[in-house]
Structure 1
Amino acid sequence: MKNWFKELGPGILVSAAFIGPGTVTVCTLAGVDFGFSLLWALLLSVIACMILQEMAARVGIITQSGLSDVIRTEIKNPLFRHLSIGLIFSAIVVGNAAYEAGNISGAVLGISAVIPSYTFNTGMLSLNLWSLIIGIIAFIILAIGNYKVLEKIFIGLVVVMSISFLITAAMTRPELGALFKGMFIPTKGAAGILTVMALIGTTVVPYNLFLHASLVSEKWKNRSFLKTAQKELFWSISLGGIVSIAIVVTAAASGVVNVATAADLAAGLEPLFGKYATWFLALGLFAAGISSAITAPLAAAYVVSGCMGWGKTLTSRRFKSVWAAVILVGMIFSSLGFKPIEIIKFAQVANGILLPVIAMFLLWIVNRKSVMGSSVNSLRVNVLGIIIIGVTIFLGAKSIFGVLQSL
């Protein structure tokens, strides 16, 4: 058991990354609006996440490089290479900078559910103190530049999230028959396709594919650790999926209505289940926000390093400058009071649309014998990967068509 805990790390960081304020928000709204009826979509998303993240982990261990670095070196046509790197750069880095405001704001929502927030005025600006504090905490943790320290911090945050959300779900005493029906019998009910897309986008996060490939190459230095990485990934992603399901269950079984954020849900739980329910949910939201506030800038830094050919080191100045810029943007937009909820929901849908593009790059790389050697995809994994890409393309096209029709 002691040796098993030593192997925890990259998968736990991926779980911490996808259980952020976006996940909490989308799962809360799915539960409040549609009950248990979309749990099947969440379950399939978790399975898809495992399949794609395993491919990314395999690329990282075999090549000992990040995914963006491998893509840059493997695309030989200069024009296509520049276009591809430009797409990845803009989608991940700019997207993560926008995400960071939502991550920090999510942590603030968690604190504000139990401790009133404080704002102070500086001339024309009104700044939220909690946003600044959380941004500074994220900055200090990343500035340490020690991967083993990062692992320990994230294992702690995931434990806090897991316990908090699972206890809260248990306190709502959900009807198990309806829960299992929603999980294993696919129905869309009254839910729009955008809600299903958001659930996929909040679970299978494109930037996590880049983050995971880089993290496994930091931790494991040869292919003999491949089975270890796969086992660690399976249990870590499974735990993340259980936590996401617990959030939907809490929202669906609580009976609380008129909810816009998880903080609203936390406030609504108190008269029904007591103040401890509010505290547990608020603590989970805070842990989710601060964990994602660290992983989003970290992923952006890995992507930029790979795109620019800088190499990867947590202590290099260029690497630090990228994650510092992402945190700074997040702190500014969060502290200025921009409402993150609609941005978060839109970002999850955008993630779902971006996912098939990134997944196609990944599938191409992991089938190249010149890169992967004997560790290329099996036929079964390729079929599953193609199905995932096909489903996400179909859902993405349908969601875009729906938006265009509404204009």
Structure 2
Amino acid sequence: MPKSLSLRAGLGSVLFWSVISAAFIGPGTVTTCAMAGSRFGVSLLWTLMFSTLGTVLLQEAAARVTIASGLSLGELLTQIYGPRIRWLMVLLFGTVTLGCAAYQAGNILGAVSGLGLLTGLSTPVLTALTGLVCITLLWQGSTRFIANMLGLVVFGMGIAFAYVATSASPDPAELIRSLVTPTLPPDSTVLVIGLIGTTIVPYNLFLGSGIGQGQSLAEMRWGIGLAVLIGGLISMAILLSGTLVSGEFSFQTVAQTLENRLGRWAGSLFSFGLFAAGFTSALTAPLAAAVTGRSLLGWREGSWAYRATWLSVMIVGLTFGMLEVKPVPVIVLAQATNGLLLPLVAVFLLVAVTNKAILPVAYRNRPWQTVAMLFVVVVTAFLGLRNLWLAVF
């Protein structure tokens, strides 16, 4: 760690950047990771290794753009291309917001499902309470307060899932092999692109760029690296927990299976983790949509357009919750949709972070970073297009 970065500043940065972990560890992560473990054992762990490293790479680049230029990713793209492509900025904002709304539906459904398993209360009541708390916190408007609060909840959730995962007792050699050896078992493509889409979340790149102002490069790199690594380990713990589950997949099945095999504590910990994942992401998805609009379209934080955006995303999630839609299909579809959007957003980020006219030399990509980002784009585009091909033909 650089000498200029104190221990207190480093820990504060990790807590602040845990908002990124809170954003990608939602019910989508719980669902896709647990389902991957249930259906394919540990064979898809390599996907989480790839997507965790990819998240660190892309989030660092997005935050570096802001620190170097004083502009968010969207503002920088607008400056590069000018007003002549404002239609593209509007289209990109609409696409990202649609992805946030899809995520939000799963977030609310997941949080309410976790609360329902814990309390037994009705879905409409729990949906209304969850929505009221989220709207109150978002309306007060402090992104740093929300980030720090979410960081604490994420760490608590991680401890819960890690405790359950230790009971899976995987073979160490098989575990290491699965982390570094890519495999695509039959009928696993949707889950693979879902695992990537739920970890390297496209809207997180705008969220990270939008909140990164005011930090030093050392603070940002330390905070993002450790916070995302912790998030990746939590995702892997959820997948290992899923290997204990067999039969038809549902949240009730997972909780009941864990209770039967490990005791009532395991089912309760899973239910708490599901609620925590949904609640934290139910705050970050609307916030990310509003921050993306501020970044791409030049809104002020707290303006009517800014608040209308996050409120609209919140209403979509609450509507799905009130209608008591089955959560698992909605959540998996949202992850796959965002996985398809990821290559497009990553290409925009790559263009911004290699721009010689705006970024000083010290802040531009090094050759290995450009190659690594291109690799992430190619892999995600290949998996997304392969998934579309299989769906159509």
TM-score bin (small chain): over 0.9
Which residue of the partner structure matches residue 67 of structure 1? 73
The answer to whether 1:98 aligns with 2:102 is yes
TM-score by length of 2: 0.94
Alpha-carbon contact 1:110-1:263 (below 8 Å) kept: no
Work out which of the residue numbers 257, 263, 287 in structure 2 matches 1:298.
Answer: 287
Matched, 1:45 2:51: yes
User: Matched residues in 1 for 2:102 and 2:239: separation?
Assistant: 25
TM-fit CA distance, 1:321 = 2.3
Structure 2 matches for 1:6-45, cutoff 5 A? 6-45=12-51
The one of 365, 369, 374 aligned to 1:377? 365
Indicate the residue corresponding to 2:333 in structure 1: 346
Look up the match of 2:217. 226
Q: CA deviation at 1:189?
A: 2.6
Residue 10 of structure 1 deviates from its aligned partner by: 4.4
Does 2:273 correspond to 1:284? yes
Q: Among residues 370, 377, 386, which one is paired with 1:389 in the alignment?
A: 377
- Change over 3 Å in CA distance of 1:59–1:299 after alignment to 2: same
**Distance in structure 1 (CA, Å) of the matches to 2:191 and 2:317:** 25
Sequence identity (%): 34
Q: Measure, in 1, the Cα distance between the counterparts of 2:260 and 2:307.
A: 45
Task: Answer yes or no: is the 8 Å Cα contact 1:24–1:262 preserved in 2.
Answer: no
The SS at the match of 1:22 is helix
Matched letter for residue 276 of structure 1: W
The answer as to whether partners of 2:100 and 2:313 remain within 8 angstroms in 1 is: yes
Output the CA distance in 1 between the equivalents of 2:144 and 2:341: 31
Moved more, 188-197 or 157-166: 188-197
Alignment RMSD: 1.6
Structure 1 equivalent of residue 92 of structure 2: 88
Moved over 4 A (4+): none
Is 1:136–2:132 an aligned residue pair?
Answer: yes
Letter aligned with residue 195 of structure 1:
L
Q: Does 1:399 align with 2:387?
A: yes
SS in 2 for 1:109: helix
Q: Distance in 2 between matches of 1:171 and 1:112?
A: 25
Kept in 1, the 8 Å contact 2:16–2:148? The answer is no
Tell me the distance in 2 between the aligned counterparts of 1:19 and 1:113.
19
Q: Which residue of 2 aligns with 1:153?
A: 149
Cα 1:377–1:25, aligned 2, differ >3 Å: closer, same or farther? same
Larger displacement relative to structure 2 (231-240 or 316-325): 316-325
Q: How many residues align?
A: 386
The whole-number CA distance in structure 1 between the counterparts of 2:273 and 2:75 is: 34
Alignment of 1:135-214 (within 5 A): 135-214=131-210
CA distance in 2, matches of 1:203, 1:288: 13
1:33 and 1:401 map into 2 onto residues whose CA distance is 22
1:359 deviates by 0.5
TM-score (norm: length of structure 1): 0.91
